[in-house]
Chain A
Amino acid sequence: MFENMAGALSELFTWSSALGLLIGVVGGMIIGALPGLSATMGIALLIPVTYGMRPSAAILMLAAIYTAAVYGGSISAILIHTPGTPSSAATCLDGYPMAQKGESLHAIGISTTSSVIGGVISAIALLLIAPPLARLSLNFGSTEYFLIAVFGLTLIASLAGDNMVKGLIAGTFGLVVGLVGLAADGSARYTFGVTGLLGGISLIPAMIGLFSVSQVMIQADERGKEAVKKEVVKISGRFLPTGKEFVHLIPLILECSVVGVFIGILPGAGGDIASWVGLNIAKSQSKHPELFGTGIVEGVAAPESANNAVTGGALIPLLTLGIPGSSTAAVLMGGLTIHGLAPGFELFSKYADITYCVILGFLAANILMGLVGWAAGRYLTMVSKVPIPLLIPCIAVLSLLGSYAASRNITDVYVAVAFGLIGFFFRKYGIPTAPVVLALILGPMSDKYMYQGTRVAMKKDLSFWQYIPTRPLSIFFIILIVLALFAPLVSKAISKSYEKKHGHIDAAEDI
């Protein structure tokens, strides 16, 4: 690991990486602060901007957007009682009452400090855990990779939201769409004689359509309606916590950060769950649990450290095994694919300079996020005042432009528009769109490894399904798949228990 640091640092200290870092942090904070826009959509929209960038700067920018958007969501949660992202819903409970008491700046300061510490700890965990895990992947054969893809597909159930069957329909629809084009053996499938379909449905336009174009259509329903003016509390109070306060909060922040990292690694359990778990830890350790909800610093520090710690944790299975545990991670994986980077050991050997640059840059992004938050966090609420009618055409133009720029092919624009329509209907009828993206990525991967595995099995006079149990590592993955199938039930039970205790806060839809 350390032998790669010099190369990674020289990669990090380039103008393009520095610019990517800055744009990612500021852009992410703005996206996070805007209720209705999430990290997922932000990354999907900005992937095209990275085409001309060096891969290290590009992935760094996308990772910075991820962590900064989670933090940005807390600012609108504190100042306008509307969480910019679902991860910040728990922050509303004490953040907004603090702001109402005239301590808005202090609440933002506590949120900034906790988010930075949570993010930094998750970046360190990423640096320490990911390389050995990636080395483990050297022992994997085609059956293990097939099972990893299937394991990833089981996450669809956890991304499904309230209606699991509809989520699974979305996931299998993504798999069906992934069938279009050339099969692993080189034969054409579902191309209907159209040459343009031989390459399959492009991932980026489909993703942009599902997340961004559909959002434009959803927002069009607000046509002509008077925007509800959100009351923004006055910015007042001191920003940074006092020394005494910091000493009091640091054990809680550290504990919530570690818990957040583990939640991030778990498939399907994202920042929203982590923030509620963090809040519960704070409450259970407090001598005055009755004060939670009245505007106390612990109620902001705990969820904010936990939800930012999730970001680095979620990158661990993504970079090492290629398992995107959330919609944001799935879109990030799309970003990796675009730059020709495949998750696994190669990322930590052949492309070590790029990968370690991204990890170190991710660490730097969390620190930079604190500095930008300190300098400009209070002004971020102005972003939420931008009229939706001005924002919508900009998103539409960037969406279509992004789809076109991917391969300079107008067909991709048609794909984005078509998937925008599909995404709109899906969302209207309560079918989640994130599983479609996950399946679009993992479907062709499982197809390829099933084909390779079948070839290997044939040499041993076995069928593919008979060959799987002959490999011990494959049995381990089968157990993992079975466990993952139960994960959504457990995480749903946790969410329900916290919602019951703390009440439900409407968060911006996670798109």
Chain B
Amino acid sequence: MHKTRIQDLVISLCVIALGVFMWVQTADFTDESKQFSRFVLLLFLLMGVILLVITLINAKKPAGKEVTLKEFKNPMLMFVIICVYVAMMITIGFFPATLIFMPVSMLFMGYRRPLPIICTTIGMNLFVWVLFVYSLKVRLPEGADFMSFLSFLY
């Protein structure tokens, strides 16, 4: 099988596995709820099977661009940074978390000029405060109790 077809094979198998798992769950549903859920799942499973058949028929032909593991490194690191940012948002509050997240992600992206980094970080926090806190009265995450000394920001 051509390398580019393996990824389509994996996608089709994932679709079928998810579809079957969800179909099994419908056994506990009410009759009316079951009707629409099974209709949707049938379509989902059908698409998975069609992709599987197409992939197997054209197994030796290339299909689009090959995706290498290397291409996932930086995006996944960025994803981890975003997850840490969300965790910080809950523990130390939105503004301190953003003050840390922005310069870190800029540095991660390879940007090294301090002045634009500082200006963008402060500018963004000010923009968010003016628009969301001051104008729209949105109560942003304040963090855990130990961060209560910053509650005036929210």
Contact = CB atoms under 8 A, between A and B. Distances in A.
Given A220-B74, A417-B83, A393 B106 contact: yes
Contacts of B132: 401, 405
Contacts of A213: 82
B23 to A, nearest CB: 11
The residue among B40, B109, B140 with the most chain A CB atoms within 10 A of its own CB is B109
A218 interface: yes
Given A165-B50, A220-B78, A52 B106 contact: no
Contact of A397 (B11, B37, B98): B98
A287 interface: no
A116 interface: no
Contacts of A179: 22, 36-37, 40
A451 B36 contact: yes
A447 B79 contact: no
Interface in B18-70: 18-19, 22, 25, 29-30, 32-33, 35-37, 39-41, 43-44, 47-48, 50-51, 54, 64-65, 67
B82 to A, nearest CB: 6
A183 B38 CA distance: 13
Contact of B79 (A397, A421, A446): A421
A224 B89 contact: no
Contacts of B141: 404, 410
Contact of A393 (B79, B89, B105, B139): B105
B139 A217 contact: no
Interface stretch (A126-134, A242-250, A383-391): A383-391
Interface in A390-430: 390, 392-394, 396-397, 400-401, 404-405, 408, 410, 413-414, 417, 420-421, 424, 428-430
A363 B109 CA distance: 41
A393 B25 contact: no
Contacts, number: 175
Where chain B touches its partner, the secondary structure class is: helix
A394 B109 contact: no
Contacts of B90: 410
Contacts of B33: 183-185, 187, 189
A169 B40 CA distance: 11
A25 interface: no
Given A165-B54, A176-B22, A396 B105 contact: yes
Contacts of A217: 75-76, 78-79
Contacts of B18: 176
B13 interface: no
B105 A392 contact: yes
A408 B142 CA distance: 12
Where chain A touches its partner, the secondary structure class is: helix
A404 B105 contact: no
A413 B86 contact: yes
B128 interface: yes
Contacts of A54: none
A429 B65 CA distance: 9
Interface string A217-256: 1101111110000000000000000000000000000000
B109 A392 contact: yes
Nearest to B26: A189
A451 B78 CA distance: 43
A172 B137 CA distance: 38
B27 to A, nearest CB: 12
B110 interface: yes
A205 to B, nearest CB: 12
Interface string B1-23: 00000011001000100110010
B64 A430 contact: yes
A429 B7 contact: yes
A225 to B, nearest CB: 8
A400 B32 contact: no
Contacts of A396: 82, 85, 101, 105
A408 B54 CA distance: 44
Nearest to B43: A172
B40 A52 contact: no
A175 interface: yes
B51 A387 contact: no
Contacts of A447: 36
B43 A401 contact: no
B104 to A, nearest CB: 8
Interface in A152-207: 163, 165-166, 168-169, 172-173, 175-176, 178-179, 183-185, 187, 189-190
Contacts of B111: 387, 389-390
B67 to A, nearest CB: 5
A223 B74 contact: yes
Contact of B32 (A163, A223, A393, A451): A451
B96 to A, nearest CB: 13
A408 B44 CA distance: 33
A506 to B, nearest CB: 14
Nearest to A163: B64
Interface of B: 7-8, 11, 15, 18-19, 22, 25, 29-30, 32-33, 35-37, 39-41, 43-44, 47-48, 50-51, 54, 64-65, 67, 71-72, 74-79, 82-83, 85-86, 89-90, 94, 98, 101-102, 105-106, 108-111, 116-117, 120, 124, 128, 131-132, 135-141
Given A172-B44, A393-B106, 16 more contacts: A52-B138, A169-B11, A172-B40, A175-B40, A178-B40, A190-B22, A220-B78, A390-B120, A396-B82, A396-B101, A408-B138, A413-B86, A414-B86, A417-B79, A417-B86, A447-B36
9 contacts: A163-B64, A165-B50, A184-B36, A220-B78, A221-B71, A389-B111, A393-B105, A401-B128, A429-B11
